[in-house]
Chains A and B, each alone.
Chain A
């Protein structure tokens, strides 16, 4: 990947990530988040991890963000009116944010920050190599994860199911009473 592509996509990802936090309208934040996910997916693709990039678009940008959209609609989230509260709280908020940034900078600063451009072997990141890893080295983890997800889906359905109303119970039990 040429460095300018990396810098361009990276900058785009950071700007849209900032947009997620800065904007007051939840739908606009959601759009920024989609932008972030898309640019990160493009970074993956530019790094030859083509399958991971496309899966990121299909799963995150294409499906999970739609769920986010539905949640925003369901909860009827409105435009935020801005931070409220005492001036001291705001000052402490800014201080905390500044501290976090400094901390992150010292953790991630050189030598970790140096970008290395390496050439990957042919076939790296292809579906064949990914599937090969997934179904040999990580088979158990992969299968267990899918069972876990299935359990989560069944649990969610069980929780969301409407509890039968009292009338429905009575309808079932009345014939028994008559019989006894």
Chain B
């Protein structure tokens, strides 16, 4: 019992730290990756000793983005505008960040691992209602943004906050419907069980990942999730050309950094969710508990511990790849107009989601089985 508690606490902290580190990676990608995409040099000023420069190495901007940027933001003046609700103005960034961070703990990042006779499931919280927990915490993310807009005592902020709230509750529906069809396919709310249900292969070579069962739900979750995380092309709540910075116009210093962190953490969370639901989570293609069963009948034995570690590595690789994909989308597409956004949400994604749920229900009942 005690060991389980300690292991659970360690795993929860690990997951949150992983999410925060992914956010840092995304910040790096935001600076340097965008420069690569747009054929710019990007941040290249800060070095610790200038050693690399003297040796003729290009500055990759790692110190710039991962140390100098956050330090700069947290040491800036924290300004609260006149007439603002001081308490809520301070509370709002943390209200936005908190639900995202606590959602990380239900994501399974590996199979059960056996160490010294203890079987430890590699997920911080193995909830039987994991998918419901997910929807509940994601639903609470609205308040930070909405209250930031209201508490700033600024027109731009309020408009941005209202836009963000309307956008998030609209796309939450499509996201929920996508998750519902996955739940119906695998017949469980437990995320670890959903990942387990994606083991094995079809036709001897195709991994039984969710994306091949529910391609429509995959697209729905990808689009709706991107809209939930308020990133380009869905960044209307902070559309610079109209609203300056939207709901965090009046934020500076550390609190603005927390809002940026929330955006990146949401993106990392979205990547983890898509990995869990559609890309087989920690499943490595053709890897069973005893080793690789390659298509064509070849077999490669692998020790059990290595299988577990390979699972964790596979999860991380998938998540980082998805993060990079989301970053590419963010730096490729232009911003929507607000009516286009609402039309896509309510007239595009929601009916598609309902259709998908209906179709899934028919298939599940007709085949008489789940999955």
Are the chains A and B members of one assembly?
yes
Hey, which chain B residues are within 8 Å of A31, CB to CB?
A: 88, 143, 147
CB distance from A62 to the nearest CB of B (A): 3
B85 touches A62 (CB 8 A): no
Residue of A nearest to B87 (CB): A28
A21: interface (CB < 8 Å): no
Main SS class of interface, A: helix
**Is the beta-carbon distance between A50 and B129 smaller than 8 angstroms?**
yes
Q: CB of A109 within 8 A of chain B? A: no
Question: What are the interface flags for A55-68 relative to B under an 8 Å C-beta threshold, 1 for contact and 0 otherwise?
Answer: 10110011101100
Residues of B within 8 A of A28 (CB): 88
Nearest Cβ distance between residue B212 and chain A, in whole angstroms? 26
What are the residues of chain A within 8 A of B127 when measuring CB–CB?
Answer: 50
Name the interface residues of B308-346: CB closer than 8 Å to any CB of A. Answer: none
At the interface, yes or no: A69 with Cβ under 8 Å from chain B?
A: yes
One of B48-56, B130-138, B268-276 contacting the partner = B130-138
The listed residue (B88, B129, B150) touching A73 by CB distance below 8 A is B150
A65→B142 CA distance, assembly (Å): 10
Chain A, interface residues (CB within 8 Å), range:
20 to 34
Q: How far is the CA of A24 from the CA of B102 in the complex (A)?
A: 31
Contact B136 A57 (CB under 8 A): yes
A57 to B151, CA, bound (A): 24
**A66→B128 contact, CB < 8 A:** no
Docked CA distance A50–B129 (Å): 7
CA distance A92 to B128 in the complex (A): 52
Q: Which listed residue (B88, B142, B169, B172) contacts A27, Cβ 8 A?
A: B88
Is B211 an interface residue when CB atoms closer than 8 A count as contact? Answer: no
- B151 contacts which chain A residues (CB < 8 A)? 27
Establish whether residues B136 and A62, one from each chain, have CB atoms under 8 Å apart when the complex forms: yes
Question: Is the Cβ of B165 less than 8 Å from the Cβ of A62?
Answer: no
What are 8 inter-chain pairs, A to B, with CB distance below 8 A? A31-B147, A55-B132, A57-B140, A62-B135, A62-B172, A66-B146, A69-B146, A127-B189
